[in-house]
Structure 1
Amino acid sequence: MSRVEEVARRFSLAGILDDATQTRDRFPIREIEVDNIADHPANDAYSMGEDGIAALAKSIRAEGLTDIPLVRKMSDGSFQMLSGHRRKAAFALLAKSDPTFAKIPCRVVENVSDEQSEVLLHTANYFTRQLNVMERAEATRALGIEVERLREADPSLKGERTADLKAAIIEAQTGRTITGKTVLRQEAVARRVEDNLATPWQTLARAGELTDADINRLAKIDAKKQQTLYAKRAAKSLDKLQTSALIKEALGYDEPAAKALTTAKRELSKALALARDKGASLDVNMVGSIVYICGELSEIVSLRD
């Protein structure tokens, strides 16, 4: 087991609790009054839309509870939700008309610290819910706080990348693989939302109504044009797919052409590095053709501006 895996395992349920006992002993299931379970404050990072809760309540009424929530027993004997806030909200909604839903079955864990509880909450949400990019980034950012605390306490972690530690913690908790690169990409997209998108577009992104590609494209448009673009979207009541098309159109280029230019730039940069740093020979005629093509592209762009 690598050092990263060893550290990450501390934040899995198996690592937090006694590994030698049986699952049913570590996580006993008991029915608890819904009103007696407090929400975890860190859950504020996630959406709890009324429509989604109503749909979940309808599903639970028809099919029952298919995934048991996880709560921790506090030192004062009270309970706090770790994983299952939406299920708890759905039971509360159902209990208004049917008292049989006043209690909810939960797995109960004890001796879990505040720091561990927050890690469990975010990692559990990461794969069990359909999170948008902002919520995923919020989860990994929260893990980052704990990772930095660990790094201060354990000098052996100095050479380990924060993103890799975050990914390992998520994998240890959920059993599903995620890479450090994916963590970095999602956090970068979230930063573009916060730094480059106008307020109404930020709201859409947080609601999960924009794809990562939409966000990256919008980040290339200035604030004034973004406002104009959003007004067009609102006037036409566009759905998610139509909104993507509107954003593509606003940029004035099609995706295949953009990808082709990106590939060309990457390959030309490689050729330049080989010639400059390693003395590789270049075909003069080929270089001339490339210069000519670049001139033609530049003329097209200037005519469109």
Structure 2
Amino acid sequence: MSSRKSNEEMKKRLQASKDTFDSRGFAGSFKMDHISGDTNIRNVSVDDLVEAPEDWNFYKPLSESKMQELVESIESNGLLHPIVVWEQPDGKYMILAGHNRARAYRMLEEAKGDGSYRKISALIKEKGEIDEDDAKEIIIDTNWVQRSLSAIEKSKSIIEKYAVLEKKKKSGAGRVRNVIAEEYEITGRLVDEYRRLGSLAEELQNMVSDGSLSMTSAAKLALFDVDTQLWMIENYRGKLSRKYTKQLKTGMDREAIRAIFESEGEAETSSVSITLAKDISERYKGLETGQRLEIAKALEELISKL
């Protein structure tokens, strides 16, 4: 589609649609110290805006349909919340929050061409007011509260947040894990699970992203090194469900893992106490997990035949 046709189509959509976009601002119980109470807001030319580095802003842009909703909302209702920018030495402003809103303004300016969207309201952080770690934290925090993030994006967010807080030594009020859990209003256990997802093989991360692997199962697979993860994908791709993965434990070798995936899954069980001779009991205690599972399975088969 030519640029002219694209602009004409945009104009038609802007006139036809009055839908609104649910854009959460900085309200709510979530606290962002670097933004809260700041009043340094003024209009900035969209030509002076620059993107944050990709390794800081690793979040996916809005889909085409959601982007269109945002454009139409801004055209109909105006900008509900200012973007957040950081003044750069060259006079430009790095976008820390509001990449999609800035993009929407550029699209509107291109479509309307009357200068009404040439400037955008921005909360400005001055050059010496914050440093790179503060800037990264603003990007992470605003995306966490404003966006519906994928499990992998949440994992990356928490890993980066962890690194920033440890570097800044902001754990005086408790362990970094607990600080993040409190700020993001999630459990400490969930913080740990999201962090573990960062050690997943890329193929498993893709499976989490496309929904073919649950986060709970992924956190279990992340207990193992990448080579073992790839081995599980190669041999047991169709069994990476909670039925099997919930039995995985830290330190299991491949023999123990194989015994789990080649079983029928965890059946309903009850515990039974068996008295063994002392020397047999000691030998049993020294067995690997996989060997113990094989003994249990053999015992079940023997009893079932009685």
2:111 aligned counterpart, secondary structure: coil
2:57 aligned counterpart, secondary structure: helix
Within the alignment, does 1:64 sit opposite 2:72 as a pair? no
Structure 2 partner of 1:142: 160
Kindly indicate whether the alpha-carbon contact (under 8 Å) linking 1:71 and 1:82 is maintained by their aligned counterparts in 2.
yes
Q: Among residues 84, 88, 105, which one is paired with 1:74 in the alignment?
A: 88
Structure 1 partner of 2:215: 212
Q: Among residues 127, 132, 144, which one is paired with 2:150 in the alignment?
A: 132
Deviation at 1:46, TM superposition (A): 0.6
- Percent sequence identity is 20
Q: Could you tell me how far apart the structure 2 residues matched to 1:104 and 1:207 are?
A: 35
Kindly indicate whether the alpha-carbon contact (under 8 Å) linking 1:133 and 1:208 is maintained by their aligned counterparts in 2.
no
Higher RCO (CA 8 Å, separation ≥ 6 residues): 1
Q: Among residues 231, 234, 241, which one is paired with 1:224 in the alignment?
A: 234
Structure 2 partner of 1:44: 57
Q: Among residues 125, 128, 131, which one is paired with 1:109 in the alignment?
A: 125
For normalisation by structure 2, the TM-score amounts to 0.57
Q: Could you tell me how far apart the structure 1 residues matched to 2:100 and 2:75 are?
A: 14
Question: Could you say if the C-alpha distance between residues 112 and 224 of structure 1 is closer, same or farther in structure 2, counting changes exceeding 3 Å?
Answer: same
Question: Could you say if the C-alpha distance between residues 53 and 119 of structure 1 is closer, same or farther in structure 2, counting changes exceeding 3 Å?
Answer: same
For normalisation by structure 1, the TM-score amounts to 0.57
Question: Could you say if the C-alpha distance between residues 55 and 217 of structure 1 is closer, same or farther in structure 2, counting changes exceeding 3 Å?
Answer: farther
Question: Could you say if the C-alpha distance between residues 183 and 101 of structure 1 is closer, same or farther in structure 2, counting changes exceeding 3 Å?
Answer: same
1:44 aligned counterpart, secondary structure: coil
Q: Over residues 78-134 of structure 1, what are the superposed CA-to-partner deviations in whole Å (9 max), with x where a residue is unaligned?
A: 211111112112222222212322222111222111111111111111121111111
2:42 aligned counterpart, secondary structure: strand
Question: Could you say if the C-alpha distance between residues 149 and 98 of structure 1 is closer, same or farther in structure 2, counting changes exceeding 3 Å?
Answer: same
Kindly indicate whether the alpha-carbon contact (under 8 Å) linking 2:82 and 2:121 is maintained by their aligned counterparts in 1.
yes
Within the alignment, does 1:54 sit opposite 2:62 as a pair? no
Q: Could you tell me how far apart the structure 2 residues matched to 1:59 and 1:297 are?
A: 66
Deviation at 1:214, TM superposition (A): 6.5
* Structure that is richer in helix per residue: 1
Q: Could you tell me how far apart the structure 2 residues matched to 1:188 and 1:252 are?
A: 15
Deviation at 1:297, TM superposition (A): 10
Q: Could you tell me how far apart the structure 1 residues matched to 2:120 and 2:151 are?
A: 30
